[in-house]
Structure 1
Amino acid sequence: MCQDNQTKVTEVYLLGLQGLENFKTLFFSVLLLIYMAIVIGNILIILLVSTNSNLKIPMFIFLQHLALADVLLATFVIPLMAEVILKTKKKMSVDDCIIQLYSYSIFGFVQCFILVIMSYDRYVAISNPLHYILIMDRRICFLLGFGSWALTWILASTEIIFTAQFEFCGLKDIDYFFCDLGPIIKLSTSDTSIVEWIDLTYSALFFFCALIFITGTYIYIFIIILKISSSAGRKKSFSTCSAHLISVGAYYGSIIAIYVTPANESSPSVYKYSSLLYTVVNPLVNPIIYSLRNHEIRQALHKIVEELWSNIMVI
């Protein structure tokens, strides 16, 4: 309950990146271009996998899920972020803020689970290539892919149910460019210990355990690759994992940059700029990585470009 001298807050103000008024038009333009690149790149991957029979294998099916999570995460965060930067201050209802946090949590969890599944897929492909299609059949791919979304929805819903009961009294400013859990907890006048405990548990059980699983999987994969006699075979085996490894590095690198920051006066700014890696850079990097590092994706894209060019020339 709010105290007698405090008013219950139903609207908050996102402050964005303060002190950059002279560069806000530049930041807005860059964010807009990046968002367009994220949407085009990830939707292109989704369409390529959906329409090309050569790409309908487990690795690319899971990549399709990752691309969907990337584009949805970017859509729920970047346009609002750009508006906050352009206007310097953005008014937002508490309910809308909670909804954005909910969406952000879902797509963040999905990215984590899909990266784990993709590491398992690479492990099966390299350790047991003769039975790969039997192990990673269409039914298993469906269960793993859509099971990730279902589990994510359950986890995010559990956390958001408690977060939605927070009260905000007096203070209205969130020194951030979107509604993340940390700034919301800091602003709330309610007891936030349950949500903080849930968040810590999720981080330990899922993000940390997922990283351990992926690391263990790739240690085993590298041991198998080193046992391959021919250098060409080793190179080919490693190339099938390289794009996923870069994605994992970018994902966990940004997570570590966000949550392992020193507790000093500059932490809020460091925290905000680190979050740009996760919300902006990651969704942009993934389609670029898989386009450059994967022969099948490049070949499918090249085929589409050729068909489009042929149609243009006919017209």
Structure 2
Amino acid sequence: MRGTNQSSVSEFLLLGLSRQPQQQQLLFLLFLIMYLVTVLGNLLIILAIGTDSHLHTPMYFFLSNLSFVDVCFSSTTVPKVLANHILGSQTISFSGCLTQMYFLFMFVDMDNFLLAVMAYDRFVAICHPLHYTTKMTHKLCVLMVAGSWITANLNVLLHTLLMARLSFCADNIIPHFFCDITPLLKLSCSDTHLNELMILTEGAVIMVTPFVCILISYIHITSAVLRVSSTRGRWKAFSTCSSHLAVVGLFYGTIIAVYFNPSSAHSSEKDTAATVLYTVVTPMLNPFIYSLRNRDLKGALCKVVHRRTFSV
């Protein structure tokens, strides 16, 4: 089989989160609730931003894109988990596995890029407030988001094509609830050195560069905030970044826990728990973090809910 482009494995078996029937029932209900909250919360944010003219600013433009990505991000894994439970099947086709991997990591990249873009937006707003409207033009915002989509797709396409050339000869059991790249590489009977090299080089650059940009932005933001004379002024400047900082910490904290720990510290239970955090819990919490810490968005959400309630 070595050197061929055809895989002898036509489908994979996803072990899921638990083999215990009682735990499976509880996890199904938990995943269903979290998914519905994720979709409803993020769609409400998109609707509130779209209908309130006061929120047609760069910061909320990026936030609406982040909410859209979070809905798609969660939708790449959770519906499959729920469907597998209902149908009593844990299989996923080879092509379906690659498709799921493609979209999952594309939306991971988009979250990564959008958080960096939002950090730059906060940097300009706090460090160069007089030039904010001239620097953060609508054209620039659209170009940054479009560039993020293009880069994310090209990056994931590369890794998906490299994965598609591998052969899978015998074992097809994935000890996970979705098609992750690491367990797939372990199952391959082909030479995976090129795949691993691209993950450690190009893939690492794609993930680390936005994170470094966020760190640099917040170093400048912190320096600018500390130069503010009044305590109230410092708190007001910092409060505009607190929601973004919370999301950044949650997103990168769980990513680091899964992918940037030594192999000796890994266990299937810990990896699964951390993966659930960044694929399911983080997209669900983002709307709450932004809405609870933002008066304008909270007011817009109240208007949307009030309008929908009385129109029924």
Q: Same fold (TM over 0.5)?
A: yes
Structure 2: runs of 5 or more not aligned: none
Partner of residue 131, structure 1: 131
Letter in 1 for 2:157: S
- How many residue pairs align between the two structures? 309
| Identity percentage of aligned residues | 38
By how many angstroms is 1:88 displaced?
A: 7.1
Partner of residue 108, structure 2: 108
By how many angstroms is 1:183 displaced?
A: 1.0
Query: Is the Cα contact below 8 Å between 1:123 and 1:221 reproduced in 2?
Result: yes
Partner of residue 42, structure 2: 42
C-alpha separation between the residues in 2 aligned to 1:144 and 1:260? 27
C-alpha separation between the residues in 2 aligned to 1:180 and 1:84? 17
TM-score calculated relative to the size of structure 2: 0.94
Query: Is the Cα contact below 8 Å between 2:14 and 2:173 reproduced in 1?
Result: yes
By how many angstroms is 1:204 displaced?
A: 2.8
Letter in 1 for 2:296: E
- SS in structure 1 of the partner of residue 91 of structure 2: strand
Structure with higher RCO (Cα < 8 A, 6+ apart): 2
Partner of residue 301, structure 1: 301
By how many angstroms is 1:80 displaced?
A: 1.3
Residues 213-252 of structure 1 mapped to structure 2, 5 A cutoff: 213-252=213-252
How big is the alpha-carbon RMSD for the aligned residues of Structure 1 and Structure 2?
A: 1.9
- SS in structure 1 of the partner of residue 12 of structure 2: strand
C-alpha separation between the residues in 2 aligned to 1:286 and 1:45? 10
Partner of residue 74, structure 1: 74
- SS in structure 2 of the partner of residue 289 of structure 1: helix
C-alpha separation between the residues in 2 aligned to 1:136 and 1:242? 20
- SS in structure 1 of the partner of residue 76 of structure 2: helix
Residues 145-160 of structure 1 mapped to structure 2, 5 A cutoff: 145-160=145-160
CA distance 1:170–1:308, shift in 2 (3 Å): closer
By how many angstroms is 1:176 displaced?
A: 0.8
Residues 1-315 of structure 1 mapped to structure 2, 5 A cutoff: 1=1, 8-84=8-84, 90-264=90-264, 267-311=267-311
TM-score calculated relative to the size of structure 1: 0.93
C-alpha separation between the residues in 1 aligned to 2:105 and 2:267? 22
C-alpha separation between the residues in 1 aligned to 2:155 and 2:8? 28
CA distance 1:311–1:86, shift in 2 (3 Å): closer
Structure 1: runs of 5 or more not aligned: none
- SS in structure 2 of the partner of residue 168 of structure 1: coil
C-alpha separation between the residues in 2 aligned to 1:89 and 1:202? 36
Query: Is the Cα contact below 8 Å between 1:98 and 1:179 reproduced in 2?
Result: yes
C-alpha separation between the residues in 2 aligned to 1:161 and 1:254? 27
- SS in structure 2 of the partner of residue 169 of structure 1: coil
- SS in structure 2 of the partner of residue 124 of structure 1: helix
